[in-house]
């Protein structure tokens, strides 16, 4: 199972160093199935027993792109895993370069956690699967380092996870499009994680607020 934590706009370098130290000690050895996406200001240069990923980047090595992070900056911290397409970035209008980001990350053999998800209006219209397919049509679904994270927008940060039957239906459909590991994200917590992970075709979770404290993230990992 893959356990990924998106810390969003939380943690400083100092607090994330403490977070990483605790997680490193708990893991004991390197585990490629544990991924943590800290804010870029908190990237650590030291080796970790988990994969450190970037929440955002610009598809360039470097250049005249004010406020952006290029490959050169990620390389400095040994980062080879990126999050692309998260709905919170799509809403901000910052994911207009999704295909360019994907193609760049693929070119440089990054592990990619690619987020898809529908809003409540789309769900209620019965067009969820059609909408999700449209989000995936622009990327290479056969890319060997791809992980797909299904995160219904109406469940992100609301404390209300999607219905188990809906998650199961979506994940089953996604297996017809790609062989990539499939994660579920959206108000995952210690009360629902076991049921979510028991869903057929669920290969793990992408956790937000429930992973902000390292002790809570470890509880989720240990089950």
* Predicted local confidence at residue 159, as pLDDT: 72
* Predicted local confidence at residue 166, as pLDDT: 95
| Active site residue ranges | 86, 151
* Predicted local confidence at residue 156, as pLDDT: 83
Residue 149 tokens, joined: 């994270």
Q: What proportion of the chain, given as a percentage, has pLDDT over 70?
A: 100
* Predicted local confidence at residue 96, as pLDDT: 80
With a cut of 90, say whether residue 190 has pLDDT above it: yes
Q: What proportion of the chain, given as a percentage, has pLDDT over 90?
A: 93
- Summarised one tens digit per residue, pLDDT across range 60-103 is 999 999 999 999 999 999 999 999 999 999 988 777 899 999 99
DSSP string, the chain: -EEEEE--S---HHHHHHHHHHHHHHH-S--TTEEEE--GGG---S--SSEE-BS---SSSS-S-TT---HHHHHHTT--EEEE--HHHHHHTTTTTHHHHHHHHHHTT-EEEEEE---HHHHHTT-HHHHHHHHHTTS-TT-TTEEEEE--GGGTTTS-PPPHHHHHHHHHHHTTT--S-EEEESS--TTTHHHHHTSTT--EEEESGGGSSHHHHHHHHH-
With a cut of 90, say whether residue 11 has pLDDT above it: yes
Return the minimum-mean-pLDDT range out of 40-44, 125-129, 156-160: 156-160
Q: How far apart are CA 52 and CA 82, in angstroms?
A: 9
Of the pLDDT bands very low, low, confident and very high (cuts 50, 70, 90), residue 46 is very high
- Do residues 83 and 56 touch, judged by C-beta distance below 8 A? yes
* Domain 2-222: assigned CATH number: 3.20.20.70
Extents of the domains making up the chain: 2-222
Mean pLDDT of 23-35: 96
User: 207, 106, 95: which is closest to 155 by C-alpha?
Assistant: 207
Residue-averaged pLDDT of the chain? 96
* Predicted local confidence at residue 76, as pLDDT: 97
With a cut of 80, say whether residue 125 has pLDDT above it: yes
Maximum pairwise Cα distance, the chain: 48
């Amino acid at each position: 199972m893959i356990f990924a934590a998106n810390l969003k706009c939380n943690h400083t370098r100092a607090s994330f160093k403490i977070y990483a130290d605790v997680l490193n000690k708990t893991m004991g050895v390197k585990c490629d199935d544990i991924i943590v996406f800290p804010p870029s200001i908190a990237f650590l240069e030291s080796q970790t027993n988990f994969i450190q990923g970037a929440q955002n980047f610009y598809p360039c090595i470097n250049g005249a792109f004010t406020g952006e992070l290029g490959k050169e900056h990620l390389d400095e911290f040994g980062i080879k895993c990126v999050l692309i397409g998260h709905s919170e970035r799509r809403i901000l209008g910052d994911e207009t370069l999704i295909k360019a980001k994907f193609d760049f990350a693929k070119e440089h053999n990054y592990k990619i956690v690619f987020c898809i998800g529908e809003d409540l209006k789309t769900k209620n219209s019965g067009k969820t699967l059609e909408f999700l397919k449209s989000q995936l049509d622009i990327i290479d679904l056969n890319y060997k380092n791809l992980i797909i994270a299904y995160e219904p927008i109406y469940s992100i940060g609301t404390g209300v996870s999607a219905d188990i039957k809906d998650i199961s239906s979506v994940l089953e459909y996604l297996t017809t499009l790609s062989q990539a590991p499939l994660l579920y994200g959206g108000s995952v917590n210690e009360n629902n994680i076991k049921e979510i992970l028991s869903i057929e075709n669920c290969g793990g979770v992408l956790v937000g607020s429930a992973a902000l404290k390292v002790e809570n993230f470890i509880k989720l990992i240990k089950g």
